[in-house]
Structure 1
Amino acid sequence: MPLQSELSRSRSARRLAFESRRAFTVLELLVSISVVGLLVGLLLPAVNSAREATRRIQCVDHLREVGLALHNHHDAKKSLPAGWKFDPSGETAFGWAVELLPYLGQPGLFDQIDCKLPVQHPIHDHARTTTLEVLLCPSDIIDPMFALHEESEEDEDDEDEDEEDEHPVHVYELGTEPIELMRLPTANYVGVFGTLESDDSVPAPIGDGAFLENRLVRFRDFQRGLSHTFIVGERKMAQVPSTWFGVHLEGEDAAARIVGSALEGINQPLADECDFSSRHPGGANFLWGDGHVSFLTESLDLDEYHQWSKLR
């Protein structure tokens, strides 16, 4: 009996010791937290990178859809749509994407738009509030709508001086607020005007790209070849909000809301608002005349960048 009692006490002691060891000490808890934090720190960039890769693929798919719609439009109308086309009053203009709506699966929306009436006409209320997913880059941080304000007198007077600024500072008289002309749906993809600034004046200068003011361009005009000329590029909303629908011609940077220009390079901090940009690390996606999409890097030679944006 004494031996059995001793064995029983020994088992109980071992069990108590084992149970007491099942809890973490403060040091073990701190080490565990540090290890978990380190693993999260290692995994999070990989997760974010995978998400961005997925978004970039979606962006490419969107641009391919736009390219297919442009080719279908060209087959049907024998030309690309005009970059922007004035309404009969000459007060507003409709963007090139309006004519693509039937080829982007939006025939009903297209039927609600009458290009013989101004952009701000009540008949266009629905279109002016419709954001099209196919014209948005999933990587960008956007608001579905933005306000187009009237261009200030200072902007018009100091236009030449502003050409050297990163982004012109729009100054209004003390106590006044910028006049809101209309609200428009956001888009990330803008047509290529070429190597000139589209909003230098009204009417705009004759650009050397695929989407021009009140002018139609045909594939036969691509003297450098469809596969060597890009026609649509990305622009992030933080640079300047853009739209697919149309603009008031007295609006601030009106034409730049619909088309873009190859000027200082991709994602360049000192670039004009007309230039191209994206939130994809290292560059932006571009649609070429033959319908293929490629990623152009920020380190692209500036001369090549300019040449690829021109028809000749």
Structure 2
Amino acid sequence: MSNVSFRPLLGAGLLVLFSLSLPAQEDVSNKLSAEFVPDNALAAIFASPSKVLQDPSFEMMPIEVLQAQGLEMIGVDPMHIDQLTVVVGPPGPQGPVGGVVIQFSQDYSIEDLNPQIFREAEPQESNGREVYLLAGPPNTVLFRKDARTFIIGVGNYLNSIVDGNQGQGSLARLLPRIPDQNGITAVAVLDQIRPMLTGLLKQNVRQMPAQVQGVVRLPELTDALVVNVKPAGLLNFQATVVALCTDADAAQEAAGVLNDSIDFGIAKVVEDATQGMDSSDPVRNASAKYGVRLADFLGNSFRPKIVGNRLVIKPASNAGTVGALVGLLLPAIQAARGAASRVRSSNNQRQILLAMHIYHDTYQKLPDAQIKDKEGKPLLSWRVSILPFIEHQALYEQFHLDEPWDSEHNLPLANQMPDAFRHPDLPTEKNETVYQVAAGKGLMFDNDKANRFRDVGDGLSNTVLLTETDAAHAVVWSKPEDSSIDMNDPAGHLHVAPGDVYQFGFGDGSVQAIPLDMDLETLKALFTRAGGEFVKR
């Protein structure tokens, strides 16, 4: 089966994220269900796509298109999804765990689903249950509980979800007290993660402005959060955030912290906006005045109201405000996305660098840039050599190391590229990678000799081992090919990462961001392994 991400199955539900709903005090007989919420769960998100899509506010939405896309990509009509429940469990050794419970209004079988969403066609057994491996994060499986209930588990969390609420967890006890209405409702409890949140905030408190340092106390003052948003007309919504504090005094203190932070934010925006008020440009002055007015309006709309031990926040929610918020936040969102992309890519590079070091410790040298036959003909890439050290021993054993990468046996294996070689954002083919070694005469990988760390005279922390090329220079990961480095323009084929930097993996295992404006001689010195240059950065 094709290694296609399973994320589209969640798409139908996630399309309605902007239409969450749950008034904090409304008297509604139906409550949220804790049936599939394990006792150790941290958060749960509830949505009813079919109800939202039938809401009169969405009459002019392209419902037919959404249905056609759902059926084509997944094999599921979003109008048949009665309930979508996302459960988030405690982080495990391998990362986040959780799952999704999908409850249909009509019967569905495994055969109804698009086969491309499966990693393997045949089911496997897990604790007596028949499950299907899905493309996506490791240990992502699908279990058909019955004809109208499918459960996806991530990170070995499936059994916990299927077994469900045992009546002991704080989240499971809280959910039946919360009204269930059309839209999405997100509920999170802080008891299990409070020490971690408090620790992270305290680590960074010195970098915070004095006016907002009180946020360090918020996790200690809060037991749970409930986020609710519901449609209020086309392109409009009503949102409610409720913080359940430990007691009434904690609610008073938390409100003070939030108000101080809002005051600081308004003051900062006003300061930035009014810096150019003396300009002779009337349009610029008018824009500055509008920025001040908008900051004051938006800031005050987020001020909390105290109701006993609860803080209730109902921000302004008309379409004009949404547009203004998007305009103000878009640069920050883009910067955050860029930073996240860099982090994900650097994590891939670190995994590859670690494998290189383990290989070197095992064989007293780095892997050859190319696996060659006895006559010196290149057969396979160095990436195949490090497969056992990135937890892909089974894939490594499938390769015939005495045959070229595109032999009848080896070529199909190219479609099983490990995630460590896949860039998170660049538009490459599914079997192509942009992570390539610095190979060439006098570089870290010199094909004329064995490559050992002891031969790196310039120092491992000053010598590039791994690069991140642009999409145009991506190569099939198992092919014995790396883009050649032109020492007259060593960065000519590299990817410019968000923040206008190059990301290099160095011989010491570090991943560093190198600015685009680094002078050519210094950049060249970073690539040579024993050039004797003095590198000042």
Q: Same fold (TM over 0.5)?
A: yes
Aligned counterpart, 2:464: 230
User: Is residue 285 of structure 1 aligned with residue 519 of structure 2?
Assistant: no
Change (3 A) 1:191 1:283: same
- The 8 Å contact of residues 233 and 260 in structure 1, kept in 2 or not, is answered as no
Q: Distance in 1 between matches of 2:488 and 2:475?
A: 17
Which of 1 and 2 has higher RCO (CA within 8 Å, sep 6+)?
1
Aligned mate of 1:192, from 421, 438, 450: 438
Q: Distance in 1 between matches of 2:345 and 2:474?
A: 18
- The 8 Å contact of residues 140 and 278 in structure 1, kept in 2 or not, is answered as no
User: Is residue 304 of structure 1 aligned with residue 522 of structure 2?
Assistant: yes
Identity level (%): 25
Change (3 A) 1:227 1:92: closer
User: Is residue 142 of structure 1 aligned with residue 428 of structure 2?
Assistant: yes
TM (norm. structure 1) is: 0.63
Q: Distance in 2 between matches of 1:92 and 1:193?
A: 14
Aligned mate of 2:386, from 71, 93, 100: 100
Aligned counterpart, 1:208: 442
Aligned counterpart, 1:125: 411
Residue 90 of structure 1, CA deviation: 5.4
User: Is residue 74 of structure 1 aligned with residue 299 of structure 2?
Assistant: no
CA RMSD of aligned residues (A): 2.1
Aligned counterpart, 2:489: 264
**Deviation per CA, 1:217-269, whole angstroms, max 9, x where unpaired?**
0011101111111110101213x22232114xxxxxxx445x64554253xxx
Give the 3-state SS of the residue equivalent to 1:284 in structure 2.
Answer: strand
**Deviation per CA, 1:151-198, whole angstroms, max 9, x where unpaired?**
xxxxxxxxxxxxxxxxxxxxxxxxxxxxxxxxxx2111100025xxxx
- The 8 Å contact of residues 234 and 277 in structure 1, kept in 2 or not, is answered as yes
Change (3 A) 1:243 1:261: farther
List alignment gaps of at least 5 residues for structure 1.
1-31, 145-184, 195-206, 248-254
Which runs of structure 1 show a deviation greater than 6 angstroms over 4 or more consecutive aligned residues? Answer: none
Q: Distance in 2 between matches of 1:215 and 1:115?
A: 20
- The 8 Å contact of residues 265 and 298 in structure 1, kept in 2 or not, is answered as no
Change (3 A) 1:243 1:297: farther
Change (3 A) 1:45 1:78: same
Q: Distance in 1 between matches of 2:362 and 2:486?
A: 27
Aligned counterpart, 1:173: none
Aligned counterpart, 1:6: none
- The 8 Å contact of residues 192 and 261 in structure 1, kept in 2 or not, is answered as no
- The 8 Å contact of residues 442 and 529 in structure 2, kept in 1 or not, is answered as yes
Q: Distance in 2 between matches of 1:109 and 1:93?
A: 17
**Deviation per CA, 1:246-297, whole angstroms, max 9, x where unpaired?**
14xxxxxxx445x64554253xxxx3xxx32244330221111111110111
Q: Distance in 2 between matches of 1:280 and 1:100?
A: 28
Aligned mate of 2:324, from 18, 33, 38: 38
Residue 208 of structure 1, CA deviation: 1.1
Change (3 A) 1:297 1:139: farther
Change (3 A) 1:117 1:89: farther
Change (3 A) 1:69 1:135: same
Give the 3-state SS of the residue equivalent to 1:122 in structure 2.
Answer: coil
Aligned mate of 2:477, from 231, 241, 244: 244
**Deviation per CA, 1:58-82, whole angstroms, max 9, x where unpaired?**
1111111111111100011110011
Q: Which amino acid aligns with 1:304?
A: T
- The 8 Å contact of residues 350 and 509 in structure 2, kept in 1 or not, is answered as yes
Farther off after superposition, 279-288 or 292-301: 279-288
Aligned counterpart, 2:373: 87
Give the 3-state SS of the residue equivalent to 2:498 in structure 1.
Answer: coil
TM (norm. structure 2) is: 0.37
- The 8 Å contact of residues 187 and 243 in structure 1, kept in 2 or not, is answered as yes
Residue 48 of structure 1, CA deviation: 2.2
List alignment gaps of at least 5 residues for structure 2.
1-317, 531-537
- The 8 Å contact of residues 89 and 118 in structure 1, kept in 2 or not, is answered as no
Count residues in correspondence.
213
Change (3 A) 1:281 1:86: same
Change (3 A) 1:69 1:60: same
- The 8 Å contact of residues 52 and 139 in structure 1, kept in 2 or not, is answered as no
**Deviation per CA, 1:97-152, whole angstroms, max 9, x where unpaired?**
111110011101111112211222222133221222112221322221xxxxxxxx
Q: Distance in 1 between matches of 2:477 and 2:446?
A: 15
Q: Which amino acid aligns with 1:281?
A: G
Residue 94 of structure 1, CA deviation: 1.4
Q: Which amino acid aligns with 1:139?
A: D
Change (3 A) 1:289 1:219: same
- The 8 Å contact of residues 88 and 117 in structure 1, kept in 2 or not, is answered as no
Give the 3-state SS of the residue equivalent to 1:296 in structure 2.
Answer: strand
- The 8 Å contact of residues 87 and 116 in structure 1, kept in 2 or not, is answered as yes
- The 8 Å contact of residues 497 and 503 in structure 2, kept in 1 or not, is answered as no
Q: Distance in 2 between matches of 1:133 and 1:262?
A: 30
Q: Distance in 2 between matches of 1:214 and 1:111?
A: 27
